[in-house]
Amino acid sequence: MKKALLIVDLQHDFLPGGSLAVAEGDAVIPFVSDLMNKKGRYELIVATQDWHPPGHGSFASAHQGAKPFDLGELNGLEQVFWPDHCVQGQDGARSHPDIMQPLISITETGQRTVIIKKGQHLEVDSYTAFFDNARRHDTGLHRALQSYEISAVDVVGLAFDYCVKFTALDAASLGYATTVLLQGTRSVDPTTVETTTAELEAAGVCCR
């Protein structure tokens, strides 16, 4: 069984000090870095990045009167309006150096790696690493996994109750044996960990 590691959105804006910081988000980085350096464990290592254009429709600043974390609608879909985050080319969109530098190093030694950018379409958000939320566009991740004959994925990164969850749900629905490694993720809302875990396990995702 060929396995891939999916590292979801370990970017500056989701880490302490960022515009949409996940509490203790930086605590997962040593664990994830260690996984990346386990030679032979993964056929493919994938790092995803939220990669929004300026003025993205998911930003509260793009909607008159909206405040960060208000619940609204974006092109017919329920949408949390977020603080501006992970804007293309800005420092907040960069992956943490303790993820990016090992990614570069292991690529140079022959490890297969892929970077997937998501959330690039102005009028729709993208929580999952596979598609936008409206399922109008795919990111190319499924094709990349297929090209390397991947049949199982381990998922880590930020945040457990949003992009990690939806990435894992899509991976399972696409037929991959999917595991979320809980030591490698944190939630925007820590009170949702149990319900998120239950939702994932009900969909056939292993959480351990």
Catalytic residue numbers, as ranges: 9, 118, 163
Q: How many CB atoms lie within 10 A of CB 89?
A: 9
Longest dimension (CA), the chain: 51
Q: Would you mind telling me the total number of residues written for the chain in this entry?
A: 208
What are the C-alpha distances in Å from 130 to residues 70, 121, 137, 163?
25, 14, 9, 10
Cβ atoms of 63 and 81 within 8 Å: the answer is yes
Closest CA to 65 of 44, 81, 43, 54: 81
CA distance 173 to 92: 31
Q: Where are the beta strands (DSSP E) in 35-169?
A: 44-50, 71-74, 77-80, 112-118, 152-158
- State CA 138 to chain mean position distance: 14
Q: How far apart are CA 42 and CA 86, in angstroms?
A: 27
